[in-house]
Amino acid sequence: MTLTSHSNYRSSEIAGLYYDGRSSRPHNVSVLINGSKISVTGAGIKRSYKLSNTELSEPLGNAKRMLNFSDGSSCELPDSIKLKTLLASTGHKETIVVWLQNRWRTSALAFLCLIALIALAYRYALPVIADAASRSISDNTLTVISSQAMQSLDKNILKPSNLSTEKQTQLRRKMSEIRFASDLNIQPKVEFRTAASGGPNAFALPDGKIVFYDSLVKLADNDEQLIAVYAHEAGHVHHRHGVRMVIQSSLVALALASYFGDVSSIAGALTGWLINAKYSRDFERQADRFAAYTLIHNNLSPTLLGDFMVKLENEHKRQQPNNSNSKLYDYISSHPSTQERAAEMSKIKAEHK
């Protein structure tokens, strides 16, 4: 804040430390306000500055106040009663921000408003921004991203499928015949792989490539259950969930880094994980609904997906018997609970009888 002179000024002085702006060495000085000027005097120091060109730092607890002069020098003064009297003699008044900071109820209200604003931005603004950004990415870019991801997976995790060529051809043909309730912006392409670990799984890449593990194909009771999984993964592709997750994760990480300073800290990492898990569950629910309506559109039951999810969870439990199934696990899981998903499929089926 800039100081100004006042007609009812009374001369006064106060002791402080002077910094010439060229070195960090402090100099003991006396500061005197005389009309529209500030005089700084000490051993070998005699300076005069215009009051109107001098800036005063805002008060912060018991911290000292700084007079910042136009030539880059400054003077450090204790935030004492004497300084407040000196400032008052110039007609100086603290800003509204300083007034608010000195009232804890107002500060608490402002803090609550800030938390509410962040919550609203997280709940409503971030998904909209990420969705718009994801749809501005060209198909060529999605292809490059997906190709690099697939190359890395094939090199480090996945191996060629052991399914017969006939079985792969049969499943591709059946899945290509599926009619979607709405036009897809990206056409799905089916691939098969095997993995040494991780259990039965399927995933979708941003360019529309849907990868089935051999173990998932073998787990299914029939091809219709695999078609249900195909429809679910096609929902991820259609809504560009993969790209949106990357964008949202990046924005969340940026926000956490600005607050915690080091996003790799335990608190920051845990917070980011929980936030992104929430978005992932929302994406799964959206893909589930897309699959349900796709199955209905093809005269198939939405419960095909729910029933297979139950079977898939039981298989994961069999392979990992020590895995938690508590409500806490459901909350921090990247997927909604299987019971919730199966119930939603049954509900949609009942509504479309």
Residue 10's pLDDT band (boundaries 50, 70, 90)?
very low
The conformational region for residue 246 under phi > 0 = left, psi -120 to 50 = alpha, else beta, is alpha
Q: What is the mean pLDDT of residues 323-344?
A: 70
pLDDT for residue 57 is more than 60 = yes
Spatial CB neighbours of 230, under 8 Å, sequence gap ≥ 6: 175, 178, 188, 190, 202, 210
Q: 185 or 201: which carries more pLDDT confidence? A: 201
Q: 203 or 245: which carries more pLDDT confidence? A: 203
Cα–Cα distances (Å) from 45 to 32, 40, 48, in that order, read 13, 7, 10
Lay out the sheet containing 189-195: strands in order across: 158-160, 189-195, 209-213, 202-204
Alpha-carbon distance 208 to 213, whole Å?
A: 16
Q: What is the mean pLDDT of residues 214-222?
A: 95
Least confident of 141-150, 283-292, 326-335: 326-335
Q: 38 or 279: which carries more pLDDT confidence? A: 38
Lay out the sheet containing 27-34: strands in order across: 45-50, 37-42, 27-34, 12-19, 74-77, 65-68, 55-56
Give the count of beta carbons closer than 10 Å to the beta carbon of residue 105.
Answer: 8
DSSP 19: E
Q: What is the mean pLDDT of residues 208-212?
A: 94
Whole-number pLDDT of residue 8: 42
Q: What is the mean pLDDT of residues 102-115?
A: 78
Name the token pair of 93.
Answer: 């008044």
Q: To the nearest whole percent, how much of the chain has pLDDT over 90? A: 35
Please say whether the beta carbons of 249 and 280 come within 8 A. Answer: no
The CATH number, out of the four listed (2.60.40.10, 3.30.70.600, 2.30.29.30, 3.40.50.12780), of the domain defined by the range 12-94:
2.30.29.30
Q: What is the mean pLDDT of residues 47-59?
A: 81
Q: Which of 18-27, 123-132, 166-175, 245-254 has the highest mean pLDDT?
A: 166-175
Please say whether the beta carbons of 197 and 214 come within 8 A. Answer: no
Terminus-to-terminus CA distance in the chain, angstroms? 70
Alpha-carbon distance 150 to 157, whole Å?
A: 10
Name the token pair of 329.
Answer: 């696990």
DSSP 7: T
DSSP letters along 72-87, please?
S-EEEE---HHHHHHH
Whole-number pLDDT of residue 184: 79
Q: pLDDT tens digits for 235-256? A: 999 999 888 888 887 777 777 6
Whole-number pLDDT of residue 84: 67
Question: What's the CA angle centered on 326, arms 277 and 337, to 5 degrees?
Answer: 50
Say what the alpha-carbon torsion angle 44, 45, 46, 51 is, to the nearest 10 degrees. 180
Q: What is the mean pLDDT of residues 204-212?
A: 93
Name the token pair of 315.
Answer: 């298989």
Query: Residue for token digits 């679910």?
Result: 232
Least confident of 31-35, 119-123, 141-145, 243-247: 31-35
Name the token pair of 70.
Answer: 């136009």
Least confident of 54-68, 208-222, 288-302: 54-68
Whole-number pLDDT of residue 135: 84
Cα–Cα distances (Å) from 227 to 39, 180, 183, 191, 279, in that order, read 84, 12, 18, 13, 25
Domain extent listing, the chain: 12-94, 137-351
Cα–Cα distances (Å) from 305 to 110, 117, 278, in that order, read 47, 38, 21
Whole-number pLDDT of residue 202: 92
Q: 97 or 170: which carries more pLDDT confidence? A: 170
Residue (of 87, 72, 71) closest to 5 by Cα position: 87
Alpha-carbon distance 323 to 47, whole Å?
A: 74
Q: What is the mean pLDDT of residues 300-314?
A: 93
Give the count of beta carbons closer than 10 Å to the beta carbon of residue 166.
Answer: 8
Q: At 153, which helix (H) or strand (E)?
A: helix 139-156
Residue 6's pLDDT band (boundaries 50, 70, 90)?
very low
